[in-house]
Amino acid sequence: MKGPDVVWYLALAGFLFCTGALGVLIRRSPLIVLLSLEIMLNGANLALIAFSRHYAQGDGQIFALTVMAVAASEVVVGLGLIVAIARKNLDLDVDKLSTLRG
Amino acid sequence: MTSGWLTTVLILFPIAAGLLVWLLPLRPFAIGSTALLFALIEVGLWIDSVARFDFSRPGLQLDQRTSWFSDLHVSYHVGFYGFSLWLAGLTVVVLAAAIGYAFWAGRDRPRAYYGLMLILTGAIVGVFVAQDLLLFYVFWEAMLIPLYFLVGVWGGAGRLRATLLFVIYTMAGSLLMLASIIVLGLSQGTFDLVDSGTNGSDWIFLGFVAAFAVKAPLFPLHAWLPEAYRESSPEVAAVLSGVVSKAAAYGFLRIAISKFPEPVADFRTPILVLAACGLVYGSLLAFRAPDVRGVIAYSSLAQMGLIVLGLFAVNDLGLNGAVLQMVNHGLISATLFLLAGGIERRTSTGELALLGGMARGRPALATMLMTAGVIALAVPGSAAFAGEFAILAGVFQTGWGWAVVGAIAIVLAAMYMLRLISAVLHQAPGPAVSEAALDLRPAELGVLVPLVALLLVLSAWPAAITDHSFGGSASHAVSQVFK
Amino acid sequence: MIAAAWICLLTPLGATLAITLAGSRITRRGAGYLATASVAASFVSAVVAFALLLGDSPEHRSHPSTLWSWLTAGQLDFGLRILVDPLSVFMMLVVAGVGSLIVAYSIGYMDGDDEERRYFAYMALFVFSMLLLVQGGNLLLLFVGWGLVGLSSYLLIGFWHDRPSAIAAAKKAFVMNAIGDATMALALFVVIQRTGSLDFETVFTHTGALGGGWAVNLVALGLLGGAVAKSAQLPLHTWLPDAMEGPTPVSALIHAATMVTAGVYLIVRTNPIFEAAPRVLELAAGLGAATLVLAGLIALVQTDIKRVIAYSTMSQIGYMFLAVGLGAYANGMFHLMTHAFFKALLFMAAGIAIHALAGEQDIRKMGGLRRLMPFTYIAFLVGTLSLTGIPPFSGFFSKDSILGAALAQGWYGQVLWGVGMIGTFLTGLYAFRLFFVVFWGEPSGFVREHLMTGSHAQAREGHLSHDGHESHMHAGEGPLSMTLTVGVLTVLAATGGLLQFAGVWTPVSDWLEPVARPLVEATGAQEAVSSVLAVGLGLAGIWVAWLIYAKRRVQAPRLATVQALLEHKFYFDELYGLAFYRPAVLLATGLTRFVEQPLVLGSVRGLVRGVRELGLGTGRIQTGLVRTYALSIAASIAVVTVVFLAVR
């Protein structure tokens, strides 16, 4: 087994995840929120791959690939929504987009 | 005799037919006739299963079983007992009549309407044949979904409120039943109704009773009843009071009474008291109800009280009488609600004060209402009389007081039914009754005559049901948990 | 014999179904002929059954026959079972015989009514029900017939359904009878519980199983309740006079000749049960005696011709109850038969008069019909003499043998004998009051207008508005179908009594002996004393009536309170209204207003409000801001993680 210990990878993964989560929580622009979500997903992916390597099993990598696919589709939907919001001339501000409340 | 597939077909055929009707882009007339055709085929399938059924034998027949979740012993298990066969027959006949009536009366969005009616048929038949607790619950809830739309979309002016009440009430009961089902199934190690034995827990028993008592309904849980019966279209009211309420009575018989002998003994008196209260209370309110549907609705409450009285007598007379009365009342209230629909179409009101004098010049309407009415008030010799007589004779053996209450209710039934008949048919024509209000049309007669004819056949031969429900002694079958 | 009995039973039912299903494809007149033919066929079958039964030795004259199981439950099996025995054949002959005459009479009487078909369907249904009642081979089938005659009675009383009074009377009759049905049903429940069967033979051989004490008394009381309601005896008698709202042939058939005597039949049929409960049997006799006097008194002040006859019916059935209550079953049944003849005759003769007078029933408007309607006059006279019990008319033979038997039955019987004697006087008085007022004297203006102007069409038009139904009329005394049947009944009422002459020849008693062995036999002296006294008192009644109403020498005494008491029929209607009907209505209204609205439906409102508020409460958590949700998710995960770590 070469390279740094798995702990380092996990630490980086945790850092990425927290950065993303913080971005989701404090930023108002939906675009940045989406971006932060991607960072969170990548943090998770890193953790999966790190464990996959650590245990020498392929499952984690497969999961990571699945997550990437899902993330890609999710970005498509998310960006589509943002374009739709922009077209309706609404504010691009997640604090004002609260129609879900009913 | 391995015709278990027939039972499955009886469930799946109407559901598939319903989806087909819903999806096919046909014109309204074609949709109605197709739906009616499917409903009649379903009746034919049921007749076929009667022909294949061996009434001399107790126990489950025409059964089919496939494992579903093997580790929890949940399976797709369906089959018929004698009494469930009759109740399924009641279902397919009343639903066919309801679809026929709707076809004649014409409904908006017919594809969805007939589709839902057919799906409802499958769901109710499913309730009567399911031999697995989870399957039973699935069908029980599946029954609610089409009804929700049928009352809520096609009902009268106050339909939303009526739907809300109906759904909230029945959901509350159903959830308690779900909890009971889970606890019972896990404690027995199987969810199968035939395999599992008896249970002594009061709480599980009460969970089931709650669901059935709301659906029946049993006094004082009937708050949803008057609005649901008044606001839905006549054929849906016919299905609600004629068939859906019988699912609850069936549940009492198949699950509550047979699986819980000790709790039944503990709670028999309170339940009998509620049933007797419902019987008298419903009769009295029917006597003062201001409209046609109100009378029928409250008389349904009274009749369900009577049926529960018979069931909880738990002896041959009471159980046989209750099963007979379930079929009778299903046919009677369906006939009466459809007649009420016919009257409302002609006069655009159901207020008794505005009606009257409809007998003159309308012999078919008068004959049908009079026949259905006198059968409903259990004139001796009618099928309803046979049922009531057996029920009261049965409950008399539990305690004479119950039969005395029942006897009072017989007199009250005569009073409210004669009041209804006279208010609609007799004396001078009411303000809402114009000369232009026609007699029943052939299409309406085509729907109503078979129902009344069935009642007359049952009047001549009530033993057709009492002798062919349990394959021997009813109380024996119950005490053996329908093995 | 069995086949004949089934044919007898089912032919009228077939006629009902045929007329109902044929609708307007059958002519009105055709429906009448069909109904008459079916009832006549019943009568012929009854005669055949009778002749065949004569061939058996008296001990073996009981033939049950079951068509199929009607109602079953475990070991219990109640079959569709008839019993052919002397009693049922006797009743079949009376019912189908008198029935066919009255249905034939109806062809003329109802001619021109626009719902004639419905009428004949109902009439045939009634005959079927009545035959079912008397032929039923178990208590359940008897009860079924019992209920069905009540139903057909309801339908026929309310036949002219746009008259509010007719509908009210019909409902009243049905509900009163439903009360009797209910007590009878309770009696049957006890029988089922104790003997496990309802077949006559089984029940009667197991009267011991009913238990000597309360059970058998309860059964007898329940049956008596049914009998009293059906036969319009105290205290459930108030429906019968109102039932006169129906067409006159209906009153003749149902409310005089057949249905109302079903109570007598019931007691005779179930005599082993009643004999095991002697107190109840005595109660029946006492109720009969009370009714016969009470009804006789009320009849004195009634002004409606049919109501007078109705009260006399109650009174005569009182005699029958008196007889069977004292155990003189054959005497009661014999009186049932002669009463069927002369009472049907009275009603039908009255019907001819009513018919001729455009539906008028008030005797104060009548008078002097003797010369104008001589045939009706003779018929009515025979009926009235027979009713009063003047020899050699039929009532004499049957009524006096009842009184003779009463005299032989201890002190209780003697008290009732005294009451019966008072009744005889009253009978003579009210019967001849009616007779003199209607037929003697000078024709009143009203009668002149209708019968002497010659132009019926004119009279008819003038009075259509008065009463749209009975106004269809015929010249003189009606068509052949009416006069011929009345003629036959006149002969029967005059001579029918000769069938049995107590102490001399007794074929009726001998015939019924195997079914109902009498508890009492009067001696020759008792018979003679009763007969002489009864005839004397009857004649005295006639004399008084003659003085007051024919010669008008004596004013009828006027006592305001008594008059009011009698005209209000002893206030029974008012009492029942106050004691039962109003409380029921109040209770129902009260329950609607104070329980259903606030509690049951109110609870729903509360429930809905609760659910909505719960929903609104949780709704406040939903800010709609994605960030809040994300924060809560993150916070929850953090909490869960901490919990997991800490708990390990």
Q: Nearest-CA distance from A100 to chain C in Å?
A: 5
Q: How far apart, in whole angstroms, are the C-alpha atoms of residue C420 and residue C407?
A: 10
What is the CB-side half-sphere exposure of residue C185 using CA atoms within 13 A? 34
- pLDDT over threshold 50, residue C461: no
Q: Degrees (nearest 5) of the Cα angle C378, C360, C476? A: 45
- Average of pLDDT values for C446-464? 51
pLDDT (0 to 100) of residue C447: 72
* Nearest partner of C156 among C190, C135, C182, C130, judged by Cα: C130
Residues 614-643 of C with CB under 8 A from A: 619, 622-627, 630-631, 634
Residue in C619, C626, C634 nearest the CB of A94: C626
pLDDT (0 to 100) of residue A99: 64
CB B296 within 8 A of CB B282: no
pTM: 0.85
Kindly give, in sequence order, each residue whose CB lies less than 8 Å from that of residue B234, ignoring residues fewer than 6 positions away.
B101, B105, B337, B338, B340, B341, B342, B344
Q: Which residues of B touch C587 (CB under 8 A)?
A: 284
Where do we find the tokens 């429900």?
B469
The reply to whether residue C631 touches residue A95, judged by beta carbons under 8 angstroms, is no
**Is the bond preceding C391 in cis, omega lying within 30 degrees of 0?**
no
Q: How far apart, in whole angstroms, are the C-alpha atoms of residue C99 and residue C103?
A: 6
pLDDT (0 to 100) of residue C473: 44
Question: In whole angstroms, what separates CA B256 from the centre of its chain?
Answer: 18
Residue in A with minimal Cα distance to C630: A25
The reply to whether residue B285 touches residue C23, judged by beta carbons under 8 angstroms, is no
Q: Which residues of C touch B396 (CB under 8 A)?
A: 186, 189-190, 192-193
CB C540 within 8 A of CB C428: yes
Q: How far apart, in whole angstroms, are the C-alpha atoms of residue B366 and residue B358?
A: 7
Compute how many other C-beta atoms are within 10 angstroms of the C-beta atom of residue C31: 25
- pLDDT over threshold 60, residue C454: no
The CA radius of gyration of chain B, in Å to the nearest whole number, is: 21
- Chains that contact A by 3+ CB pairs under 8 Å? C
- Average of pLDDT values for A45-70? 90
Residue in A with minimal Cα distance to C618: A101
- pLDDT over threshold 70, residue C501: yes
Tokens of C580: 């039962």
DSSP assignment of B291-321? BHHHHHHHHHHHHHHHHHHHHTT-SHHHHHH
pLDDT (0 to 100) of residue C471: 42
Percentage of the residues of chain B whose pLDDT score is greater than 70: 99
- How does the average pLDDT of chain B come out, rounded? 88
Kindly give, in sequence order, each residue whose CB lies less than 8 Å from that of residue C499, ignoring residues fewer than 6 positions away.
C334, C337, C397, C507, C508
Q: Nearest-CA distance from C70 to chain B in Å?
A: 5
How many helical (H) and strand (E) elements, i.e. helices and strands, does chain B have?
20, 2
Q: How far apart, in whole angstroms, are the C-alpha atoms of residue B241 and residue B447?
A: 17
- Average of pLDDT values for B153-157? 84
pLDDT (0 to 100) of residue C453: 53
- pLDDT over threshold 90, residue B127: yes
Burial of B238: CB neighbours in 10 Å, binned 0-12, 13-18, 19+: buried
Tokens of C427: 């009978």
pLDDT 10s digits, C251-301? 888 888 888 889 899 999 988 888 888 888 889 899 999 998 888 888 888
- How does the average pLDDT of chain C come out, rounded? 83
The reply to whether residue C193 touches residue B396, judged by beta carbons under 8 angstroms, is yes
Using 50, 70 and 90 to split pLDDT, how confident is the model at B483? low
The reply to whether residue C627 touches residue A25, judged by beta carbons under 8 angstroms, is yes
Percentage of the residues of chain C whose pLDDT score is greater than 90: 8
Q: Nearest-CA distance from C610 to chain B in Å?
A: 12
Q: Which residues of C touch B428 (CB under 8 A)?
A: 162, 164
- Chains that contact B by 3+ CB pairs under 8 Å? C
CB C432 within 8 A of CB C546: yes
For the range B67-70, what are the long-range contacts, defined as Cβ-Cβ under 8 Å and sequence gap of 24 or more? B68/B132, B68/B134, B68/B135
- Length of chain A equals 102
pLDDT (0 to 100) of residue C368: 75
* Nearest partner of C271 among C216, C352, C194, judged by Cα: C216
User: By 3-state DSSP, what share of chain A in percent is helix, strand and coil, each rounded to 5?
Assistant: 75, 0, 25
Using 50, 70 and 90 to split pLDDT, how confident is the model at C374? confident
Q: Which residues of C touch B463 (CB under 8 A)?
A: 68-72
pLDDT (0 to 100) of residue C457: 39
Residue in C with minimal Cα distance to B460: C70
Q: How far apart, in whole angstroms, are the C-alpha atoms of residue C339 and residue C323?
A: 14
Residue in C622, C630, C631 nearest the CB of A101: C622
CB C51 within 8 A of CB C3: no
pLDDT (0 to 100) of residue C452: 62
- pLDDT over threshold 70, residue C464: no
Residues 376-395 of C with CB under 8 A from B: none
Where do we find the tokens 């022909």?
B51
Residue in B379, B407, B428 nearest the CB of C148: B379
pLDDT 10s digits, C129-138? 999 999 988 8
Percentage of the residues of chain B whose pLDDT score is greater than 90: 35
The reply to whether residue C592 touches residue B288, judged by beta carbons under 8 angstroms, is yes
Structure-model confidence comparison of residues C625 and B327, the more confident one: B327
The reply to whether residue C626 touches residue A21, judged by beta carbons under 8 angstroms, is no
Q: Which residues of C touch B320 (CB under 8 A)?
A: 72-74
pLDDT (0 to 100) of residue C476: 67
- Average of pLDDT values for C327-355? 88
Helix or strand holding residue B68 (H, E): strand B61-69
Beta bridge partners of C63: C84
Burial of C557: CB neighbours in 10 Å, binned 0-12, 13-18, 19+: exposed
Using 50, 70 and 90 to split pLDDT, how confident is the model at B451? very high
Residue in A with minimal Cα distance to C620: A101
The reply to whether residue C181 touches residue B316, judged by beta carbons under 8 angstroms, is no
C514 three-class SS: coil
The reply to whether residue C607 touches residue B412, judged by beta carbons under 8 angstroms, is no
- Average of pLDDT values for C403-416? 84
What is the CB-side half-sphere exposure of residue B161 using CA atoms within 13 A? 14
- pLDDT over threshold 80, residue C325: yes
- Chains that contact C by 3+ CB pairs under 8 Å? A, B
**Beta strand residue intervals within C25-182, DSSP E:** 63-73, 76-84
Compute how many other C-beta atoms are within 10 angstroms of the C-beta atom of residue C433: 25
Instruction: Work out the angle between the directed axes of helices B442-460 and B383-398 (0-180°, nearest 10).
Output: 40
Beta bridge partners of B80: B61
Where do we find the tokens 């990548």?
A42
pLDDT (0 to 100) of residue A87: 87
Beta bridge partners of C406: none
Residues 13-42 of A with CB under 8 A from C: 21, 24-26, 33
Query: Do chain C and B touch: 3 or more Cβ pairs under 8 angstroms?
Result: yes
- pLDDT over threshold 50, residue C189: yes
- pLDDT over threshold 80, residue C625: no
pLDDT (0 to 100) of residue C458: 37
Structure-model confidence comparison of residues B14 and C606, the more confident one: B14
Using 50, 70 and 90 to split pLDDT, how confident is the model at B98? very high
